[in-house]
Amino acid sequence: MFTLKNTIAECVNAFLAENGGEAMDIQGLLETPADIKNGDISLPCFRFSKALRKAPPMIAAALKEKLEGAIPQVEKIDAVSGYLNFYLSPAFYTEALKGIASANDFGSSDIGKGKTVCLDFSSPNIAKRFHVGHLGTTAIGGCLKNLYDFCGYTTVGINHLGDWGTQFGKLIVAYKKWSSFERVKERGISELVDIYVRFSAEAEKDDSLNDEARAAFAKLESLDEEYISIWQSFKEISLKEYMKTYELLGIEFDSYNGESFYNDKMEAIVEELREKNLLVVDDGASIVRLDDYDMPPAIILKKDGSTLYATRDITAAVWRKNNYDFYKCIYVTSAGQSLHFAQYFKVLELMGYDWAKDLVHVPYGTMSVNGEKLASRTGNVILLDDLFAEAIAKAEKIIEEKNSDLKDKHGTAVAVGVGAIVFGALSNGRIKDTNFVWEEALSFEGNTGPYVQYTYARAASILRKAEGEQGGFDGYTPQSEEIALTKLLCTFPDKVLLALSDHEPCVIARYALDLCAAYNLFYHNCTILKAEGEARAFRLQLTAIVKHVLGKCLDLLGMKRTEEI
């Protein structure tokens, strides 16, 4: 499709040159009509009107006359209301399918060759349980990493753990007062959560506990051997718990450098800010003023000289640039942190780092479950472990009802249950708030993850039944459903690039749904296993291509392929 669009662009630019116009990015103007009655490719001619001094309908008509018969793959051209509509020949789609079938990894590219992209995502606070609020950053970040990998970039997945701060002073005090090594070893992160909750309750009655906590954190900051050992054990216990979730999601990280990693690196950054006359003392705090950019000041040091998130994030960005020499550094966090990122990106720019423009914040909306907003302060928090467990149980029950003879029912239920949650988090535009509804997400019909996995399994089943047969394209003229399906397959590389450029996983999720709908229509209207000769060979080959592309969609979204359901 790219080659054809390039041919059309060359012909149109030649026409513009002949008529006194300048060359333009014609490929960027080409559209896919929503209604197939308007052709396969459409070119709006409105942008040419000023240069050629003619009305768009007249330009479209002149282009029709110029291009008709000039492009072999185009069967017909129509000029309608200022649009030039191209209708492609069935032979074009047969050739396109041959190209897709012979491609090593259709849809991938090497646009990122030689470029490193850092992706900072997930990043939970240690000693706390993973809850559904972490799902957005983890699922979106995982998908974006897959997309960058697929397009040839070298990716560095960074889990910037929340592993430093005064809360660890509180946790150490709570541990020494009410817990033990044995209890923490036995109960894991649940014990840490419980003693932290107890500390908060007790501190409301006895404020001296907060003084003890501050003293404990001061010891931690001074690298007291005992306190560092306790803190390190908390971190190891937390990571052990988190790894279960990451394994379930199929997500791996290259770095777990959290906030504590930058403790000995921040002083140099603060000194650099002073040397560049960016640091101003205001009411005891050290800040960088951002009034000229319509933003509140970035606080670098509090009155007591302690650092903040901005200090650590600025330090981390400089360290990552020095160590990874990234092409882009991408941060996947909630939209509520947009101001924070805008502030410290601007500070880095003011420090003279021209690569500050390569820092990208990818925000996302909130998630609710069955219409209820999540809030830890009110206790309305759904743990991610519980969410997965319930989804897997529901999927297992559905599979038992629909296919009790399935060999690996539990393994399939895990794939479908987890996939339903991931797809639910990715299928809406990321900035939109998401409401996760059990019945909808776990349905095998409609716009859900299980529906995509079920369609993949359907294609796999057909190919298993025809195992050993040779598919092919020669001697067969595609029917309307087959052409529609082929058209959609041809757009997959474009969808990948769009999802990447917009950092928008829902582009892939929605494409997968469209592909499922087109394949299921083809499946119902065109016999496959009962067909014979050239039709059978063509349809088996088409099914194999759909399975491959749909499988790649699942991979990119971070969902498991389901050969059987």
Question: What are the structural domains, with CATH classification, of the chain?
Answer: 2-88 (3.30.1360.70), 116-262+309-367 (3.40.50.620)
- Is residue 506 within a helix (H) or strand (E), and if so which, with residue range? helix 506-525
Each as own residue / partner, the long-range contacts of residues 350-357 (CB below 8 Å, 24 or more positions apart, any chain) are 350/276, 350/278, 350/288, 351/272, 351/273, 351/276, 351/278, 352/276, 353/318, 353/321, 355/321, 355/326
Contacts of 222 (CB under 8 A, 6+ apart): none
Q: What pLDDT was estimated at residue 37?
A: 84
List the structure tokens of 275: 């040397």
List the structure tokens of 322: 């020095």
Distance CA 293, CA 288 (A): 12
- Kindly report the pTM of this predicted structure: 0.91
Contacts of 507 (CB under 8 A, 6+ apart): 495, 498, 499
CB 22 within 8 A of CB 8: no
Cα angle, residue 302 at apex, residues 301 and 306 outer, rounded to 5°:
70
Mean pLDDT per block of 10 residues along the chain (565 residues) reads: 85 93 91 85 94 94 94 93 92 89 92 98 92 91 98 98 92 96 92 93 94 93 94 94 94 96 95 96 94 96 86 97 98 95 97 98 86 54 84 92 91 95 92 80 83 97 92 87 92 95 97 97 96 95 96 98 94
Q: What pLDDT was estimated at residue 304?
A: 80
Q: What pLDDT was estimated at residue 512?
A: 98
504 CB-side CA count, 13 A: 14
SS (H, E, C) 385-453: HHHHHHHHHHHHHHHHHHCCCCCCHHHHHHHHHHHHHHHHHHCCCCCCCEEECHHHHCCCCCCCHHHHH
Distance CA 106, CA 97 (A): 11
Distance CA 74, CA 68 (A): 8
Q: What pLDDT was estimated at residue 378?
A: 42
Q: What pLDDT was estimated at residue 316?
A: 97
| Sheet with 367-369, side-by-side order of all strands | 372-373, 367-369, 434-436
Residue 380 sits at φ, ψ, to 5 deg, of -90, 70
Q: What pLDDT was estimated at residue 485?
A: 94
Return the number of other C-beta atoms located less than 10 Å from residue 280's C-beta: 14
Residue 335 sits at φ, ψ, to 5 deg, of -60, -25
CB 388 within 8 A of CB 401: no
